[in-house]
Amino acid sequence: MKELAKTYDPKGIEDRLYQKWEDNKYFHAEVDRSKKPFTIVMPPPNITGQLHMGHALDNTMQDILIRYKRMQGYSALWQPGTDHAAIATEVKVINSLKEKGINKADLTRDEFLKYAWDWKEEYGGRIVKQLKKMGSSADWERERFTMDEGCSEAVKEVFIRLFDKGYIYKGSRIINWCPVCKTSISDAEVEHVEQTGHFWHIKYPIIGEEGRFVEIATTRPETMLGDTAVAVNPDDERYTDIIGKKLLLPIVNREIPVIADPYVDKEFGTGCVKITPAHDPNDFEVGKRHNLAEINILNDDATINANGGIYEGMDRYEARKAIVAKLDELGLLVKVVEHVHNVGTHDRCKTTVEPMIKPQWFVKMEEMAKPAIDALQSGRLKFVPESFGKTYMHWLEGIRDWCISRQLWWGHRIPAYYCEECGEMVVSRDMPEKCPKCGCSHLKQDEDTLDTWFSSALWPFSTLGWPNKTEELDYFYPTDVLVTGYDIIFFWVIRMVFSALEQTGTEPFHTVLIHGLVRDSQGRKMSKSLGNGIDPLEVIDKYGADALRLTLITGNAPGNDMRFYWERVESSRNFANKVWNASRFIMMNLGDEQPTKPEAADLLPVDRWILSKVNTLAKDVTENMDKYELGIAVQKVYDFIWEEFCDWYIEIAKVRLYKKEEDPKAANAALWVLKTVLANALKMLHPYMPFITEEIFCTLCPEEETIMLAPWPEYTEEWNFAKEEADVETIKVLVKGIRNIRSEMNVPPSRKAKYFIVSPDADLCELFASHKDIYSQLISASEIDVQADKAGIPEDAVSVVIPNAVVYIPLEELVDMAKERERLEKEKAKLAKELARSNGMLNNEKFLSKAPQAKVDEEKAKLEKYKQMMEDVENRLAQLK
């Protein structure tokens, strides 16, 4: 038999094994009607992305599920791909062009896109290579890209269908605007960052009532240039008399009305709210209800436009200072209060986002949201944990129309065309030859591209060939499980659900498995600004992919954040070493001959115990995996391998292995059980630690080409040995009790002792007497007497109490009396000196008066410790005498 290397070296096996898997197409899933399909779509990482801990966790969880289902005999497809990441990629390309001295403004759209595609070809596959380092067994032969030909056709098809149905329209509504990237951005790209700002309290004069004002408070004084009303709550008695009256908007000197709207919280602030419909989403809705004018005061670069009068051309923050100064000069600035609040910033360039009214393309959401709500309420869609269903429902029930247009060149261009003669707009798959209204042949395509989320919302079905009726779509769709972080429920999960229901009539998946964030050891979110991010590739380079994967899943509960500790990775690496060394020991004892299955009569109770344990483990782990309790499942496998198999069974089996020549039949039984149990344990560990399990399994079972396609262990009644399982568990309690007392008394393992086991329970006595061969080696026994009473047991015997029995060990069996007395006398003398020193210090007035209190307290604690230690030593000496 081929042997394992002496030491486990991940670097020596991981790349080699991954290449083997790819060469043999083990990841590839085929349409096979004789098998059940199981499908997961990989949340497509951005082509600008680099592997981080969030990716590592997300993809490890998906890989665990896909490997598990593959071993269960499913045609398991893990559909991979990458996202074009419109804004992020455009920024990267612009920056790379700057380094070459090229300005985007000097390029045509086509010239820029050529550079963008070149950039994608050079850097877009980087994260895929990194995912492979993690051991991700995705079907890379089916890899897709959100802007490949098929996905692009799907995007165009959906746009036209929704437009024809009246669900897509072009209009002016409030959107998130990035003044640096000069594009609208989605809610997903707005990061709310806590900032220290101010509330400026300003007086707005009531027209016709000299000396009377309303007081408003704002965090953005510059937006008052676009105010078109002040709102109060209709039930607020303080302001009932001014509803309908006019105010004079300071500086601008425009008359604006006081309106009543329930949007205003009368308990917050002054109860008066300035309404700027063009620059606040809530104000926009209030404005619609009251037919207020919408006055945009900002240019695309966040400078003040012509509507800002004398402030035109100023940067928004420059204008803020000037306006506040002017209000103060006019006596209209009441006070300035420091205020900590969350400010929306663009997650790419970190610029503060401006809500602005812009003509954009939108998707009507009210009707499409209803089937998505019903999907959860009916149970056809479920979240793990269930609590995240509330987040899903909350967002859908308050959904607003979705802004889908972006002012970018990289992305799916909107298939809308405008007649340059009469302005007629046509939505079409291709450029029309002539205008349907005036017959002009000069048409121009809309300059905007679609929101990246528009294409990724179609991912579960566009990747399988939709809108074409492909075999893959018919077989693998709908998919089964979506694995994603809780921070992306709104933006991606919901959009996939309503898009799939609208286009395919069915939910895109039945389960959404939510995981938390990977935080640093202090519980902080990993970020570039904090510099606390940990590169998964660095961890892999140091400890191997298996150790990282095990660390990310151990103790991981769905939906909960986890902390990353290097110590835990070391612990995972130590476990890998334990598995490796135990496997190597077994293989060395197997030699070139494979053991044969023993007759039932040749199996010892301890053999039946471990077979029963691994049998129960298969049932429990399968149940946990099916419930997506991946952390619980792997902990059970870990505990079984480390404790039951390595620390107990292998140690017990060694006796028969070392007597192979004397009793080959007994050795064969032990070796068969060792190999069988190890193979089953490796299979259950494989989804979590694919590399080490593959290397060991294929060495242990040379007749198998890969563990990936080996059948998943299933519970069998043949291995249900409940009695033997209970018996050996009782023996383990006995052994643990004896080992504990020996450890407490510093008895070396090599020192053998005589044991008396006393129990009035005849069945228990029979168990301990008939199973001495199992445990005598484990407790270093010279002799074991099992009896019903204490007859013949020395008075000085040490006792170990276990359920329904007491173990007695004569003291002289455990300890060399003379040597122990000598050691204790030395310890007593040493403690006497420490007690004298400590008492001397604490009785010294000079020390007590000058030493810091902490030092005095420390010395007092030492004194108490020495007193206790002296008492223990004296008691031990008295016992020995």
User: For residue range 419-476, what is the model confidence (pLDDT) as tens digits?
Assistant: 999 999 999 999 999 999 999 999 999 999 999 999 999 999 999 999 999 999 999 9
Is 86 among the domain residues?
yes
Residue 504 CB burial class (10 angstroms; 0-12, 13-18, ≥19)? middle
Is 658 among the domain residues?
yes
Task: Check residue 306 and report its DSSP letter.
Answer: G
Residue 745, domain CATH: 3.30.2320
> 836, 835, 838: which is closest to 857 by C-alpha?
838
Task: Please check the confidence at residue 55 and state whether its pLDDT lies above 70.
Answer: yes
Strand-pair category, 511-515 with 382-384? parallel
Give the helix ranges, DSSP H, for 519-604.
536-543, 545-553, 566-590
**pLDDT tens digits, 147-196:** 999 999 999 999 999 999 999 999 988 889 999 888 888 777 788 888 88
487 or 589, higher pLDDT? 589
Query: For the residues 530-553, what does the mean pLDDT come to?
Result: 92
Query: For the residues 507-523, what does the mean pLDDT come to?
Result: 90
CA distances from 672 to 581, 593, 653, 666 (A): 18, 11, 11, 10
Between CA 122 and CA 471 the distance in angstroms is: 33
The confidence score (pLDDT) of residue 100 equals 94
Q: Are residues 67 and 192 in the same domain?
A: no
Is 446 among the domain residues?
no
> 346, 344, 298: which is closest to 87 by C-alpha?
346
Between CA 687 and CA 59 the distance in angstroms is: 12
Least confident of 14-23, 41-50, 665-674, 823-832: 823-832
Q: Are residues 215 and 295 in the same domain?
A: yes
Q: Are residues 668 and 746 in the same domain?
A: no
754 is in an annotated binding site: no
The confidence score (pLDDT) of residue 61 equals 97
The confidence score (pLDDT) of residue 578 equals 97
Q: Are residues 811 and 870 in the same domain?
A: no
Q: Quick check: helix, strand or coil at residue 721?
A: coil
Contact 65, 633 (CB under 8 A): no
Q: Which domain holds residue 256?
A: 183-355
Residue 357 CB burial class (10 angstroms; 0-12, 13-18, ≥19)? buried
**Domain termination residue (choose one: 815, 830, 846):** 815
The confidence score (pLDDT) of residue 881 equals 66
When divided into structural domains, the chain yields a total of 5
Q: Are residues 616 and 746 in the same domain?
A: no
Between CA 388 and CA 511 the distance in angstroms is: 12
Least confident of 92-101, 538-547, 843-852: 843-852
The confidence score (pLDDT) of residue 774 equals 87
Q: Are residues 72 and 151 in the same domain?
A: yes
The confidence score (pLDDT) of residue 880 equals 66
Q: Are residues 688 and 804 in the same domain?
A: no
Phi, psi for residue 485 in degrees, rounded to 5: -80, 155
Residue 433 CB burial class (10 angstroms; 0-12, 13-18, ≥19)? exposed
**pLDDT tens digits, 455-468:** 999 999 999 999 99
Q: Are residues 596 and 699 in the same domain?
A: yes
First-to-last C-alpha distance (Å) of the chain: 58
**Chain-centroid distance, C-alpha 532:** 17
Is 501 among the domain residues?
no
Q: Are residues 54 and 137 in the same domain?
A: yes
Residue 221, domain CATH: 3.90.740.10
The confidence score (pLDDT) of residue 346 equals 84
**pLDDT tens digits, 269-312:** 889 999 999 999 999 999 999 999 999 999 999 999 999 999 99
**Domain termination residue (choose one: 658, 688, 720):** 720
**pLDDT tens digits, 255-266:** 999 999 999 998
- With b for 16 or more beta-carbon neighbours within 10 A and e for fewer, the 264-301 pattern comes to bebeebebbbbbbbbbbebbbebbeebebebbbbbbee
The confidence score (pLDDT) of residue 516 equals 87
873 or 778, higher pLDDT? 778
* Paired residues of 216 in beta bridges: 202
Contact 512, 479 (CB under 8 A): no
> 404 in the Ramachandran plot: left (φ > 0), alpha (ψ -120 to 50) or beta?
alpha
Task: Please check the confidence at residue 1 and state whether its pLDDT lies above 70.
Answer: no
Task: Please check the confidence at residue 21 and state whether its pLDDT lies above 80.
Answer: yes
Contact 51, 134 (CB under 8 A): yes
Is 360 among the domain residues?
no
Least confident of 336-350, 559-573, 827-841: 336-350
CA atoms within 13 Å, Cβ hemisphere of 496: 30
Residues above pLDDT 70, as percent of the chain:
99
Task: Please check the confidence at residue 844 and state whether its pLDDT lies above 70.
Answer: yes
Query: For the residues 730-748, what does the mean pLDDT come to?
Result: 90
Phi, psi for residue 84 in degrees, rounded to 5: -70, -15
Residue 331 CB burial class (10 angstroms; 0-12, 13-18, ≥19)? exposed
Residue 249 CB burial class (10 angstroms; 0-12, 13-18, ≥19)? buried
Q: Are residues 558 and 471 in the same domain?
A: no
Is 797 among the domain residues?
yes
- Please calculate the CA angle 291-292-298 and round it to the nearest 5 degrees: 140
Between CA 578 and CA 576 the distance in angstroms is: 5
Query: For the residues 639-652, what does the mean pLDDT come to?
Result: 96
**Domain termination residue (choose one: 442, 477, 512):** 477
Q: How confident is the model at residue 823 (pLDDT cuts 50, 70, 90)?
A: confident
Is 425 among the domain residues?
no
Task: Please check the confidence at residue 707 and state whether its pLDDT lies above 70.
Answer: yes
Query: For the residues 207-220, what does the mean pLDDT come to?
Result: 93
Q: Are residues 581 and 636 in the same domain?
A: yes
Residue 66, domain CATH: 3.40.50.620
Task: Check residue 304 and report its DSSP letter.
Answer: B
Q: Are residues 693 and 766 in the same domain?
A: no
Between CA 774 and CA 649 the distance in angstroms is: 9
Task: Check residue 525 and report its DSSP letter.
Answer: B
Q: Note the residue count of the chain.
A: 881
Least confident of 1-10, 79-88, 450-459, 609-618: 1-10
The confidence score (pLDDT) of residue 2 equals 76
Contact 29, 605 (CB under 8 A): no
Query: For the residues 367-396, what does the mean pLDDT come to?
Result: 95
Task: Check residue 311 and report its DSSP letter.
Answer: G
The confidence score (pLDDT) of residue 746 equals 82
Is 434 among the domain residues?
no
Phi, psi for residue 663 in degrees, rounded to 5: -140, 80
Task: Please check the confidence at residue 820 and state whether its pLDDT lies above 70.
Answer: no
